Amino acid sequence: MVKTVLFVCNENSARSQMAESFFNHYNTNPEYVGLSAGLKKTDAIKPYALEVMKEKGIDMSAQKPKMLTFEMIDNAYQIYTMGCIKSCPAAPPEKTFDWKLEDPAGKPVEAYRTIRDEIEARVKGLVSDLGG
């Protein structure tokens, strides 16, 4: 059975989408798959998030924001929140880790690049830890 690594942020419109994309890009271990979700409904991924990921050769334009569900939480092998753990409706302590990442919403593209690079470094470490 494939184990889901779940990335959660406020709207699933930037940070968690980047984490999911990087995870699925770098992970080569078929035992794991990345998934992301948000705490609030939104209609689209932020344009700067799409732009800065394209700079890394990753196209997220086909991805859509997803709302976090209790089923996702229950089925997740590990959960990584992007700095929103206090708002998360359920964060089982045995499998939830908060990366405490700043939300780039409303900030210039440079802030998105900084967050993107931090997420990429953390995801590479996580993929390595999981043997992928």
> Where are the strands (E) in the chain, listed by range?
3-9, 32-38, 76-81, 96-98
Q: Is 88 a catalytic residue?
A: yes
Of the listed 8, 73, 84, 115, which one is catalytic? 84
pLDDT tens for 72-89 read 999 999 999 998 766 666
Query: What mean pLDDT comes out for the span 118-125?
Result: 98
| Nearest-10 crossing angle of helices 47-54, 15-26 | 30
Out of 33, 58, 85, 88, pick the active-site residue.
88
Give the H/E segment covering residue 127: helix 109-129
Domain 3-129, CATH = 3.40.50.2300
Q: Is the pTM of this model over 0.75?
A: yes
Determine the Cα–Cα distance for residues 129 and 113; give it in Å rounded to an integer: 24
pLDDT at site 85? 67
pLDDT tens string 16-50: 999 999 999 999 999 999 999 999 989 999 999 99
